Amino acid sequence: MLRTIITRLLKNTINIISLNGYGMTILDIIFNTIRNREICIDPENLKLKLVIPNSLSKWRAETFYTKEVETLEWIDSFQKESVFWDIGANIGLYSIYAGKKCNKVYSFEPSVLNLELLAKNIHLNNLSDLISIVPLPINDKSSWNKMRLSSDELSGALSSFDHKLDYNGNNLKSFFEYSLFGLSMDDLETIFKIPKPDYIKIDVDGIEHFILKGGKNVLKECKGVLIEINDNFHEQSDTCEKILKECGLKFLFKKNSNTTVSDFSNTYNQIWKR
């Protein structure tokens, strides 16, 4: 309720200030300054630079080296010059980390709210030659459909393409939506000639099993997969396990992210290896 009250007060204040030309100029300066704020996180002397236009992106940056340690260790195990598909790249934290380790990265992120931050972060880290953005969703088939976002927050997650599912397998409550073209992993490789991945990370909060269904040929040749699975979402967890085993991958371990959010207490990063 407090957040709602503050939001309304700010909106009214901004509307009043913007009526004046000078006021609008001042607002532009403030918003652009906030929009382009930067932070540098520097473990291992990698010097990752990130834009932090809001509290969520700042939190993502500050918890990057503690929240999913297993993901960083997994990326550390890549041979140099590996091809890495980061499906559900968000603002590009793991894409950039992999790029800093001298890998060729394809960052898949269909959210219009996250793409600007993703592109800026890649640019800030001088990785435009190593990281390519694919601004389209991945699905079990290639077709036009709806991208549904659960909020308008920059660097937000919990969105879905086509299937209207949230991370628990329930009906996603859409904040706003738009139509765009989605692709299967197999079509990415055969039709669009994107190099086959050595490693794939899939973190899309709900439709991981559909993505795997459309990528069996790609999966049969990759060296490893890290996939986020909700153990309470049985259709997702059972289907993913079946497909990954069919494609010749072996389960190594799973680990829950270091977070205090109780809704994700049974959601794990699973690591699979050929």
Q: Could you report the per-residue pLDDT of 217-255, keeping only the tens digit for each?
A: 999 999 999 999 999 999 999 999 999 999 999 999 999
* The pair of three-digit structure tokens given for residue 28, joined into one six-digit string: 């532009």
> Measured between alpha carbons, how far is 161 from 265 in angstroms, rounded to an integer?
24
Q: Could you tell me the fold of the domain covering 38-273?
A: Rossmann fold (3.40.50)
Confidence at residue 26, expressed as pLDDT on a 0 to 100 scale: 85
Residue 16 banded pLDDT, cuts 50, 70, 90: confident
Mean per-residue pLDDT, 17-32: 83
Domain boundaries, the chain: 1-35, 38-273
CA distance 192 to 48: 31
pLDDT of res. 143: 96
* φ/ψ (deg, to 5) at 101: -90, 15
CA distance linking residue 14 with residue 133, whole number of Å: 34
Burial zone of 67 (CB within 10 Å; 0-12 exposed, 13-18 middle, 19+ buried): middle
- 25, 72, 152, 224, 234 from 272: Cα distances, Å: 53, 15, 33, 6, 18
- Evaluate if residue 177 carries a pLDDT over 70: yes
Q: How many angstroms separate the CA atoms of 165 and 54, rounded?
A: 26
Q: Provide the pLDDT confidence category of residue 259 given band limits of 50, 70 and 90.
A: low
Q: pLDDT value at position 116?
A: 96
Give the model confidence (pLDDT) of 96-153 as tens digits. 999 999 899 999 999 999 999 999 999 999 999 999 999 999 999 999 999 999 999 9
Mean pLDDT of 10-38: 85
pLDDT in tens, 109-124: 999 999 999 999 999 9
